[in-house]
Amino acid sequence: MTTLQTTCPYCGVGCGVVVENGALGGDRGHPANFGRLCSKGAALEHTLALPDRLTVPLMRGREASWDESLDFIAAEFTRIRETHGPDAIAFYVSGQFLTEDYYVANKLMKGFIGSANIDTNSRLCMASSVAGHVRAFGEDIVPGCYEDLEEADLVLQVGANMAWCHPVLYQRLMVARDMRGTKIVNIDPRRTVTAETADLHLPLAPGTDVLLFNGLLTHLAEVGALDHDWLAAHVSGFDEALDAARRSVPSIAFVAAAADLAAEDVRAFYDLFARTERVVTLYSQGVNQSVSGADKVNAILNCHLAAGRIGRAGMGPFSLTGQPNAMGGREVGGLANQLAAHMAFAPADVDRVRRFWSAPNIASRPGHKAVDMFEAVADGRVKAIWIAATNPADSMPRAGRVREALAKCPLVIVSDAWPTDTTALAHLVLPAAAWAEKDGTVTNSERRISRQRAFRAAPGAARPDWWMFAQVARRMGWEREFSYASAADIFREHAALSSFENEGARVFDIGALATLDAAAYDALAPVQWPCQKLGGGRSGPRLFGQGGFPTPDRRARMIPIVVRSEGRPADNLLTLNTGRIRDQWHTMTRTGRVPHLMTHIAGPRLALHPRDAAARGIEDGGLARIASPHGTAVLRVTIDAAMRTGDVFAPMHWTDQFSSAGPIDRLAHAVIDPVSGQPDLKGTRVQVVAVAESWRGLLLRRSAGDLAFGENVHWSKAPIATGFAFELSGHAPLAELVVSEQALRRLLRAPAEAELVSYSDPKRSVFRYAALLDRRLEACVFFATPRATFAEADRAAQMLGRILEPTARLSLLAGVEACVAHVDKIVCSCFSVGESAIRAAIRAGKFISAAEIGAALRAGTNCGSCVPELKKLLTESAQLHEAA
Q: Is 24 in the site for ligand SF4 (CB under 6 A)?
A: no
* Residue among 13 and 800 whose Cβ is closer to ligand SF4: 13
Give the Cβ contact number of residue 360 at 10 Å: 12
Total binding residues toward ligand SF4, as defined by CB under 6 A: 14
Please state the φ and ψ torsions of residue 315, each to the nearest 5 degrees: -150, 155
- Find all residues with CB under 8 Å of 516, minimum gap 6, and list them: 488, 491, 492, 495, 524
Q: Within the chain, how many helices (H) and strands (E) appear?
A: 30, 34
> Judged by CB under 6 A, which of 24, 38, 130, 274 binds ligand SF4?
38
> Judged by CB under 6 A, which of 5, 6, 8, 397 binds ligand SF4?
8
Q: How far apart are CA 690 and CA 627, in angstroms?
A: 12
Shortest Cβ distance from residue 13 to ligand SF4 (Å)? Answer: 4
Local structure of residue 108 (DSSP, 8 states): I
Host H or E run for residue 688: strand 684-691
Q: What 3-state DSSP class applies to 393?
A: helix
* Residue among 8 and 661 whose Cβ is closer to ligand SF4: 8
Shortest Cβ distance from residue 457 to ligand SF4 (Å)? Answer: 23
Q: How far apart are CA 127 and CA 702, in angstroms?
A: 43
Q: How far apart are CA 546 and CA 117, in angstroms?
A: 38
Q: Is the CA virtual torsion 297, 302, 305, 307 positive or negative?
A: negative
Omega cis (within 30) before 733 = no
- Find all residues with CB under 8 Å of 194, minimum gap 6, and list them: 157, 160, 161, 162, 163, 164, 170, 186, 188, 868
Instruction: Please choose, out of 7-15, 252-260, 375-383, 399-407, the segment that lies near ligand SF4 by the rule CB under 6 A.
Output: 7-15
Shortest Cβ distance from residue 196 to ligand SF4 (Å)? Answer: 19
Q: How far apart are CA 224 and CA 254, in angstroms?
A: 21
Q: Is 189 in the site for ligand SF4 (CB under 6 A)?
A: no
Q: Is 11 in the site for ligand SF4 (CB under 6 A)?
A: yes
How far is residue 437 CA from its own chain's centroid? 22
Q: Is the CA virtual torsion 740, 742, 748, 753 positive or negative?
A: positive
Host H or E run for residue 867: helix 867-883
* Residue among 442 and 468 whose Cβ is closer to ligand SF4: 442
Window 123 to 182, contacts with ligand SF4 (CB under 6 A) = 166-168
Q: How far is CA 295 from CA 122, 147, 260, 289, 675, in A?
A: 18, 27, 20, 11, 8
Shortest Cβ distance from residue 41 to ligand SF4 (Å)? Answer: 2
Instruction: Please choose, out of 9-17, 327-335, 336-344, 788-796, the segment that lies near ligand SF4 by the rule CB under 6 A.
Output: 9-17
Q: Is 40 in the site for ligand SF4 (CB under 6 A)?
A: yes
Q: Is 580 in the site for ligand SF4 (CB under 6 A)?
A: no
Shortest Cβ distance from residue 105 to ligand SF4 (Å)? Answer: 23
Window 420 to 439, contacts with ligand SF4 (CB under 6 A) = none
Shortest Cβ distance from residue 151 to ligand SF4 (Å)? Answer: 20
* Residue among 292 and 450 whose Cβ is closer to ligand SF4: 450
Tell me the CA end-to-end span of the chain in Å, nearest whole number. Answer: 58
Shortest Cβ distance from residue 12 to ligand SF4 (Å)? Answer: 7
Shortest Cβ distance from residue 8 to ligand SF4 (Å)? Answer: 3
* Residue among 41 and 723 whose Cβ is closer to ligand SF4: 41
Please state the φ and ψ torsions of residue 674, each to the nearest 5 degrees: -65, -20
* Residue among 320 and 341 whose Cβ is closer to ligand SF4: 320
* Chain position whose Cβ is nearest to ligand SF4: 41
Shortest Cβ distance from residue 516 to ligand SF4 (Å)? Answer: 24
* Residue among 435 and 544 whose Cβ is closer to ligand SF4: 435
Local structure of residue 524 (DSSP, 8 states): P
> Judged by CB under 6 A, which of 31, 41, 322, 868 binds ligand SF4?
41
* Residue among 170 and 270 whose Cβ is closer to ligand SF4: 170
Shortest Cβ distance from residue 580 to ligand SF4 (Å)? Answer: 10
Instruction: Please choose, out of 10-18, 64-72, 422-430, 501-509, the segment that lies near ligand SF4 by the rule CB under 6 A.
Output: 10-18
Instruction: Please choose, out of 3-11, 119-127, 363-371, 655-663, the segment that lies near ligand SF4 by the rule CB under 6 A.
Output: 3-11
Shortest Cβ distance from residue 32 to ligand SF4 (Å)? Answer: 7
- Find all residues with CB under 8 Å of 591, minimum gap 6, and list them: 40, 43, 47, 583, 584, 585, 597, 653
Shortest Cβ distance from residue 329 to ligand SF4 (Å)? Answer: 16
Q: How far apart are CA 392 and CA 586, in angstroms?
A: 11
* Residue among 137 and 585 whose Cβ is closer to ligand SF4: 585
CB 561 within 8 A of CB 299: yes
> Judged by CB under 6 A, which of 6, 14, 450, 600 binds ligand SF4?
14
> Judged by CB under 6 A, which of 6, 13, 334, 502 binds ligand SF4?
13
Instruction: Please choose, out of 31-39, 241-249, 382-390, 763-771, the segment that lies near ligand SF4 by the rule CB under 6 A.
Output: 31-39
* Residue among 13 and 686 whose Cβ is closer to ligand SF4: 13
Q: How far apart are CA 723 and CA 797, in angstroms?
A: 8
Omega cis (within 30) before 530 = yes
Residues within the interface to ligand SF4 (CB under 6 A): 8, 10-11, 13-15, 33, 37-38, 40-41, 166-168
